Amino acid sequence: MAEPRLIREVPLAPEVLEVTDRLRPVTEAGVAAILASVSETGGIRDAIHVREIAAKGDRPKVYRLIAGAHRLEAARRLGIEIPAKVWHCTADQARLMEIDDQIAGSGLTALDTAVFLARRKAVYEKLYPQSVAKTGAALAAARWNAADIMSVASFATVTAAQFGLTDRHVRRLVAVGTSLSPQDISTLRGAERPIQLQDLMVLSKIGDPSERSAICGILASGRVKSARDARAAHAGREPDVRDPAETSLQTLLIAWDRAPLAARRRFLRHRQDDLQAAGLTASSEATSEAAPARPRKSARKAPRLRAVK
């Protein structure tokens, strides 16, 4: 398959462009930011990307937007032309360019990132079927063919390297984005507060689509703080009420138990002022790295603390 080819760069009037089937809606905040920039710089400097679709029969030649919807809307409101890079490419290649432009930019929410990566995986594997993870004999054959790089490189690996993510992060986000329906995505985009990655992970594990949609609605309403609480509310249960101080304490205790004795003593020396303010102080034996080590068979205990009199 031929790679996308840049034909030319020309100024285009917004009204001659088609804008259809976008993965991310244009936001008022995004357009406002561009309008503010235009007032300072005097124009829109960054070109949008469009796909040229040749005339066919009675249909004239069409320019269809690939990337730059916010810039295009700003130009439309200002009534000005906008610089455009015109590409010759397929619809799938245009979709991949749209997604990569969004991911490479800034300001994506966890939800948007999950949706874009899931869609990118579908398009990428359609364009490059050799990147699909292999099993059995096909995988064994690929391993022996060192020259066939793409056949042993999964989508997650390529995407992680391209956008500075980890394989695990990409896989988690793709799983989330794949599990959500278009209606779920629309509902969550209208949420009272930003949807967090941990919320999306909870939603991705709900197998019943109708249950997941109902929980998305509860979460988006703002009546609960998390997807876990929304799931409890949907099931008629009271959400778990967690004490933030207790949660922090448990985190500290786990870190303390895992730390070696020398690290615990250094920690106490660094926190002497805090301990004294709380009416406690560590014994000299507890903070001394030269203190004799306890026998290996005895249980390791935290350094002794005594109240300040």
Q: What is the pLDDT at residue 12?
A: 93
Question: Which are the contacts of 84, defined by CB distance < 8 A and separation ≥ 6?
Answer: 9, 10, 11, 12, 17, 47, 48, 49, 50, 63
Percent with pLDDT over 90 in the chain: 33
Q: What is the pLDDT at residue 134?
A: 52
**Model confidence at 234: pLDDT above 60:** yes
Whether the CA torsion 118, 124, 126, 129 is positive or negative: it is negative
| Total H helices, total E strands in the chain | 16, 7
**Res. 165 pLDDT band, cuts 50 70 90:** confident
The pair phi, psi for residue 87, each rounded to 5°, is -115, 145
**Res. 152 pLDDT band, cuts 50 70 90:** very low
Q: Which residues pair with 281 in a beta bridge?
A: 306
**Res. 41 pLDDT band, cuts 50 70 90:** confident
* Gap between the Cα atoms of 200 and 179, Å rounded: 10
- Write down the mean pLDDT value for the chain: 80
One-character DSSP codes across 204-252: HT---HHHHHHHHHHHHHTSSSSHHHHHHHHTTPPPP---HHHHHHHHH
Q: Identify which of 4, 115, 122, 99 has the alpha carbon closest to the alpha carbon of residue 52.
A: 4
**Res. 147 pLDDT band, cuts 50 70 90:** very low
Identity of the amino acid at 170: V
Q: Is 219 exposed, middle or buried (0-12, 13-18, 19+ CB in 10 A)?
A: buried
Domains of the chain as residue ranges with CATH: 5-90 (3.90.1530.10), 103-234 (1.10.10), 248-307 (no CATH)
**Model confidence at 231: pLDDT above 60:** yes
* Gap between the Cα atoms of 190 and 22, Å rounded: 17
Q: What is the pLDDT at residue 80?
A: 93
Q: pLDDT tens for residues 238-286?
A: 655 566 776 787 788 888 888 888 888 888 888 887 777 767 665 655 5
Q: What is the pLDDT at residue 213?
A: 94
Neighbours of 17 (CB within 10 A): 20
> What does the pLDDT average to over 46-51?
94
**What is the distance, to the nearest Å, from the Cα of residue 184 to the centroid of all Cα atoms in its chain?**
17
Per-residue tokens: 199: 């919320």
Q: Among 112-121, 130-139, 169-178, 186-195, which stretch is predicted with the lowest mean pLDDT?
A: 130-139
